[in-house]
Amino acid sequence: MGSTVSDYWTLFSENVLAVALLLLTAILAALLVFSLLGYRRLNRRVQGLNLEMGSASRSLRNADRDLRALFDQSAIAVMLLDRTSKSVLYANETAMMAFGVKTEEQLTTEVMQKPDAWSSSPFSLLDFEDIIYKTDRSGLQKFEWYFEARGRRPVWLDSSLSIISYKGGQALMFTGVNITDRKHAEKADHYRHKAMISMANDNGLHVTLDHLSAMAETRMANARCGVMVHNVEAARLRWVGGRLLPEAFRESLDGLPVAFGAASSGTAVYIRGRVVTRDIYSDDRWEGYREEAESAGLRACWSEPIIGSGGELLGTFDVYHDEPWTPGDDDIDALTDPIAIASLAIERHQAKVQLEQMVLSEQMVRRISTDLLTLDPDKTDTGLTRTCRTLGEFYRADRVFLCQLDDVSRQLWISHDWAGEGFGSLRQEAVRKHPVIPNSLNKVFDGRPTVVLRDESEIPPQLEFLQELLELGQKQSVLLAVVHRGDRVSGILGIQMTAVVNPWTPQRAQTAELMANLFGSALDRSQLLNSLTYQAVHDQLTGLYNRHKIESFMDQEVARCTRYGSTFSLIIFDLDHFKSINDRFGHNEGDAVLSGVSSLVRNGLRESEIAGRWGGEEFLIILPETSLDLAVPVAERLKGSIESHRFPIPERVTVSVGVSAFRPGDTPHELIQRADAALYNAKESGRNCVKSTF
């Protein structure tokens, strides 16, 4: 039994083991089959993925190639940078042109890794790296960027910086739209606006022209501009605008003559046209200024004349370059606007200066007219000389002179003058008078108020005496203005000046004409006042002092003798039987007798002695510092000269004379009373005699 169970168990164990082995084998076979099937599926999946990856890779490569081709053809500057090293992975042609390089390697080594290649802050390499840092932290950054590549026109870019995937990694993409023209236009508008404000505020011509020079410089790459203003009187150009050129060079050209061969600017004004000097070193027009240009580092100059609204030459707008250069159509267009505004600014400035000169001229004329027309008659000569000096200083003249025409002798002489430094007085050289026919002076002026003589040969025969006196040189001229007194020519006002060109503008000539009229008015007034003064103190018939003036002299003599204890004598006489002369021969003959007596009196007295008509046929003579003993012989001589003189009437004229002398304490009335008493005594004694009383 036990053996059966044991066998049965053994048999059972062997069967179970066999079954287990079979089952395990089946399971393993099944797993193997399943594994094989899974492997095949996985292999197919891998192959599919490989196909997909290859396709994606090809697509990516194609997209990258297409993107590069797109960037290369784009007008937008595109540059890809490594996020770590900041080296350039890619840059299109536009980007390399903007940064002034030809290859990506140069862009890396000569720009991205070279701080000196960048502009100053806020457009330095450090500022650009700061934008890269912000992009890494915050993503897309938009900004404007300015880059000044060496040897190229500065570039403005409207830029952005972002992160993109590139070749399985990430890169920084820089894009920039060229806005240089817009920025330059904005800058030019900025300077135009400043120029207009400068004109409106009267900030000075140089400020306005500085802004216009900067305006032109923004429109032309590497240009340095300046403006020279034409000084018509001196025929020279004065440097006014433009400060980028060296100061030493500006000073060397300041005062450039207007002449052919005087650099580009002087030649342009001389020929009234454009002058382009491509190379200063080989242009003969720059021969006298080549060293100055070389020191300033200048090689080319384009001078464009500035012409005013009336066709007058106002100056030149000059464009300089450091290398040989010729302007193109774009440059000419760029300069059109600045030249137009410069013309307006210069004309406005000149109009303002002219207005100021007119105001100064008006003030001078008003001051001189007030001075001349309020002068005392005895100070007229001093006032006219002072006026000549004022005119000379106002005109900056060499000399000013006044010639007067004597009405009686018909002679012309230099009565007043003023001479500048280095010029002698004409009055000292020409003390004599020169005969001239008044009508011939009218021919000199030919109906005009002024004439200008520029050479000795132009001096007319009527004024030949001026040839030697004026000695007109090559650059000298003289303006002559006719002086009228009423409706007749009475003289000439002359103003001599030294200038390269004609300094006699219409305004200056009109001022000289007005001054000549003032001289004539002053002379006329002086003559009138002298005449009125003479008439006020002189007797109209005899020309001797009248009674009022004689009384004034009497009061003065009495006061003087009372103060100093001296003496004087008085002679009173009248014509014997003068009423009979008037009755028999008429009043005209009587007046002739009185005039003849007064002439004898004037001729018989010393300069210090004073004679006057006391009334009717009565005369009075004051003898200063003369005692009675000395006065009586004077009276006797006077009586004798009248008695022996032949008058127009057919009979002898005699006088009765009374003489008295001043006594201390006398009044004029007392002295005259004693002289009258002596005269009465002479008449009582038979007339035609001299009587005296102390």
Nearest-CA neighbor of 515 among 566, 580, 450, 431?
450
CA dist list (Å): 627 to 371, 564, 693, 694 = 46, 15, 12, 10
72 contacts 92 by C-beta, under 8 angstroms: yes
Instruction: Show the tokens assigned to 543.
Output: 């020309």
Residue 397 contacts by C-beta under 8 Å, 6 or more apart in sequence?
391, 420, 495, 496, 497
Residue pair 441/492 in contact (Cβ under 8 Å)? The answer is yes
The active-site residue, picked from 104, 217, 292, 617, is: 617
Distance CA 395, CA 481 (A): 15
Q: Which residues of 88-102 are buried (b: 16+ CB within 10 A; e: fewer)?
A: bbbbbebbbbbbbbe
Residue position matching structure tokens 């159509």: 329
Q: Where are the alpha helices (DSSP H) in 464-577?
A: 465-470, 506-537, 547-564
Neighbouring CB atoms inside 10 A of 17's CB total 10
Closest CA to 158 of 102, 77, 71, 67: 77
Rg (CA), the chain: 57
Residues forming a β-bridge with 300: 321
State the Cα–Cα distance between residues 635 and 605, nearest whole angstrom.
10
In angstroms, the CA 659 to CA 310 distance is: 84
User: Using CA atoms in the order 37, 42, 43, 44, what is the torsion angle rounded to 10 degrees?
Assistant: 90
104 in active site: no
Catalytic sites, residue numbers: 617
